[in-house]
Chains A and B, each alone.
Chain A
Amino acid sequence: AQKITQTQPGMFVQEKEAVTLDCTYDTSDPSYGLFWYKQPSSGEMIFLIYQGSYDQQNATEGRYSLNFQKARKSANLVISASQLGDSAMYFCAMRGYNAGNNRKLIWGLGTSLAVNP
């Protein structure tokens, strides 16, 4: 069965410091993609970064990078130089691909990040 686990319900970080949000996954699909989304208090869901299971390098998008460890089935989000506007809920999600079928996206329960000034 496919599953996403985010073990940190809440995290705190000091402004300008880096923070890592954990995500582990379970899948038997040969190919899959991992996604991170941000949801600020306004409620919109904002796509941040994507990592494919066969990508050779870890994904990076500006201050966001993904620490992808395939053998450990983890895809942790690293936010560098935290800003007050980074305070939000962060969701990890995964979609697999198997035998010609794309599966629907599955989601973790999220991590609430608070950036302190």
Chain B
Amino acid sequence: GAGVSQSPSNKVTEKGKDVELRCDPISGHTALYWYRQSLGQGLEFLIYFQGNSAPDKSGLPSDRFSAERTGGSVSTLTIQRTQQEDSAVYLCASSPPDGYNSPLHFGNGTRLTVT
């Protein structure tokens, strides 16, 4: 079946521009996560959506970052006025109705390069 789909796979943008990253989770998965991973580093939590609950935004690094999830499915991560330190791979993951034994299924990520 279809996995988690992220687009674009690569994005090069100029400093100061806005970017939108898209995540299409596995159908029926109610939990959706965004992570950021810099080169050679671990996963940095950004935001977590669980069903209709208010999202956990505690990982967003600044107010330039925002995310929404429409209709409990597709999610968009927006970075405004991009900076060079925003360059990283942005990973999206989803899981079934979010039991503590549910593994996350990851997309292939969007590699963002800010020049």
Whether A52 contacts B42 in the complex (CB less than 8 A), given A43-B89, A43-B108, A45-B93, comes out as no
Instruction: Give the shortest distance, in Å, between A60 (CB) and chain B (any CB).
Output: 16
Whether A45 contacts B100 in the complex (CB less than 8 A), given A107-B42, A108-B42, A110-B42, comes out as no
Whether A97 contacts B89 in the complex (CB less than 8 A), given A43-B108, A91-B42, A107-B42, comes out as no
Number of B residues, CB within 8 Å of A: 22
- Contact across chains for A50 and B91 when beta carbons are under 8 A apart: no
Q: Which residues of B contact A96 (CB under 8 A)?
A: 100
The one of A43, A44, A102 that contacts B100, using a Cβ cutoff of 8 Å: A102
Number of A residues, CB within 8 Å of B: 24
Q: Which residues of A contact B75 (CB under 8 A)?
A: none
Q: List residues of chain A with CB under 8 Å of any chain B CB.
A: 31-33, 35, 43-45, 47, 50, 52, 91, 93, 95-97, 102-110
Return the 10 tightest CB-CB contacts between A and B, nearest first.
A45-B106, A97-B100, A109-B42, A47-B103, A33-B101, A33-B100, A104-B48, A95-B100, A107-B43, A102-B98
